[in-house]
Structures are given as structure tokens and as C-alpha cells.
Amino acid sequence: GAGVSQSPSNKVTEKGKDVELRCDPISGHTALYWYRQSLGQGLEFLIYFQGNSAPDKSGLPSDRFSAERTGGSVSTLTIQRTQQEDSAVYLCANILSGSSYNEQFFGPGTRLTVL
């Protein structure tokens, strides 16, 4: 497809379980971001991947959160031992390679609910 896709669109899990969220970026977009959108809190930066450089993990809220990007393409965000406060919409965004304008294209998000 032409846009950023994310899966699953919705995920309900029990407290303490691990979850994996997937982002399929737009082909050719080398920069990939993960954000968390909580009710009334706007978007919170989590992690940023750019090409083969080490990722910027400075936004990850705890060591239960991790992310990887395989082959410069698909990215997976993993949350271990989920807590109720992890409930949010997790968004993935890409930047077009070579763009001088840094416009981020967002995916539809994964709505995570931790019971």
C-alpha cells in the first residue's frame, strides 16, 4: 500500500502479558518513529530509527519497552509485563528519504487496552 500500516489495529491484553506491535513503513522512507497517544495527553515520543544509525531510545518510558527495526524496514515495538497505564494508541510515523521538510506520515495506530 501507499501508506504506513500498523497491526493489529486493536489489542486487548491482560496485565502482566507481553505484547508486540508492528509497523510497516512506506517503502523508501528511512526514518521511523514510534509515539504513544494517551487520552488528553497528546503524542509522546518513544523511539526513533534512522537508517543504520543507533536508534534514539530516549523517549521509552521504562525498560519494559523496546523496539527493533529489521532490515531498515518493518519495526516492532514490544511491551513486556504490560501495566494498565500502558493503555494508549501507539502510532508509527515515517519521514520521506531525502525530504528537506521532515514531514512525518502517520499510520492508523494500534489501540492497546490492558485490563
Partner 1 sequence: AQSVSQHNHHVILSEAASLELGCNYSYGGTVNLFWYVQYPGQHLQLLLKYFSGDPLVKGIKGFEAEFIKSKFSFNLRKPSVQWSDTAEYFCAVMPYGNNRLAFGKGNQVVVIP
What residues make contact with partner 1 under the rule CB under 8 A? 31, 33, 35, 40-45, 48, 50, 56, 59, 91, 93, 95, 100-104, 106-109
Secondary structure in 3-state letters for the chain: CCCCEEECCEEEECCCCCEEEEEECCCCCCEEEEEEECCCCCEEEEEEEECCCCCECCCCCCCCEEEEECCCCCEEEEECCCCHHHCEEEEEEEECCCCCCCCEEECCCEEEEEC
Closest CB to partner 1 among residues 19, 95 = 95
Q: How far is the CB of 16 from partner 1 (least distance, A)?
A: 30
Closest CB to partner 1 among residues 84, 102 = 102
Q: How far is the CB of 2 from partner 1 (least distance, A)?
A: 13
Q: How far is the CB of 113 from partner 1 (least distance, A)?
A: 17
Closest CB to partner 1 among residues 50, 87 = 50
